[in-house]
Structure 1
Amino acid sequence: MRKVFIFLISILTFIGILENVMAGVVKWSQLPRMDQYGYDFSSETQVPSKVADDYFCESGLPVIGITWWGSYWNSGNWYPYNNSNHWGDPANVPPGTVNGFIIRFYKDVPAGTGTPPWSHPGDLLYEERLDFNLVNEKYYGQIDHADGELGVGTDIIETVFQYHATLPSPFDQQADNIYWLSIQAIDHDGMPIQWGWHEAENLWHDNAVQWGTFFNGGMENWNILTDKDMAFQIEVVPIPTTLLLLGTGLLGILTLGRKSRQS
């Protein structure tokens, strides 16, 4: 009986370890800029607009999860809305603002090899629409945009939210390649409150870009966001060798359990 108990404890321990290993491993991280000069850029269906940023895939492991940051903007008032106290403090999410998000991955078009001339997304490789109930949103922090920065008498408190989602299907990427990630909020047409993707604290490689018909006299194109990158993290599946070692351990446990019963 004691051997059976030890065997069951070993199995449960292995399952617990396996669950932790199967969680996404962060392989790319660009944290949000939280000083007074950190802003958001419209990336939403109702404008419509899309923001995209590039990253480097080193391992080639499939992407299974994404974390990103963003804020809400009331177009009838100064950015992003009157004050965080309008929704409570810490600020709650404005109700019914966003229905979900569209996650896209693109090939990279290097600078000088296409139109426009700066680096930008190429062929669409992946697209998933995530209902809001599949996204974990929580309060992250607040930014005090100094008085006068946006105009006289505009001491604005911006509330930043953190989002996380596990992708319904993984994005299969290839090692040693640059890809572009786009995150676009699905919001109601005519909704006064809009959503924007928050910028990162550091710039990597090329600038982020924003698509919209409000540029270049209504022409649809990717427009450069000079000296801007976006805040996000890429999560991939665990390293296969780690899973192999755990599987070997489980096989050993099962073998020992069988030998114990035979003896």
Structure 2
Amino acid sequence: MTGIPEVTLNNGVRMPQLGFGVFQVPNEETTAAVTSALEAGYRSIDTAAVYGNEAGVGKALAQSGIPRDELFVTTKLWNGEQGYDRTLRAFDASLEKLGLDHVDLYLIHWPTPERDLYLETWQAFEKLAADGRVRAIGVSNFQPAHLRKVIDSSGTVPAVNQIELHPFLQQAEVRAFDAGHKIVTEAWSPLAKGGELLSHPTVRELAEQHGRTPAQVVLRWHLQLGNVIIPKSVTPARIRENLALFDFELAEADLARLAELENGQRTGPDPDTFNAA
């Protein structure tokens, strides 16, 4: 193991602060990528129904020989499956593909506000948690207004809110709401996309100063803010590199320089308007 720190969710479940994401990894490549991650020391794996690679994840987990209670597996419900009964059926399908008898964290992938089904969907999530089939339930891409509706209607506070988050899009309002309600903020696309962030002069200067890669500097920034992160790679060397974050620390001045990179730039959809099925 690599000494990955854990965060405690609001229901007492512990979750590694650093996990491995498989967004946009084809199913046939996923088993090898997850196997490399597990061999490197990752124990938290993040997938989703819409990624089409839950079976590849499950195969890697089964072949790893790692005890189930040492693994933390997250998957997500896709938009078109929202609604109480459809959610329960979709969860069964995900569980079968993963080859597991439970998942550690189940997330509503997007609020899709035009559908207005996420409150009904959340009731199904509560049932899955009550039945012991999910250890923790949460959401992804939820804005404070969506979160308030969930909390006010159910009284159950999501354990996690997974959102796009990186130095170009620091999501101060969402992070503050999450923190105020004991919701863990998890970052998807923690390195942004297309290399623009990693080639930014500030990031490159800090990397040189610390003798690290630009990616390691940005990932370390996330950890020091308290975010959970799930960087993705299919390259074994990069997979290991993204794990080597616990033997250096950014100074307050470094964090302040990275905070100045905020420009509101999204790489993905806007949660208030994204309603794809």
Which structure features the higher share of strand residues? 1
Q: Which has the larger radius of gyration?
A: 1
Task: Give the TM-score, by structure 2 length.
Answer: 0.21
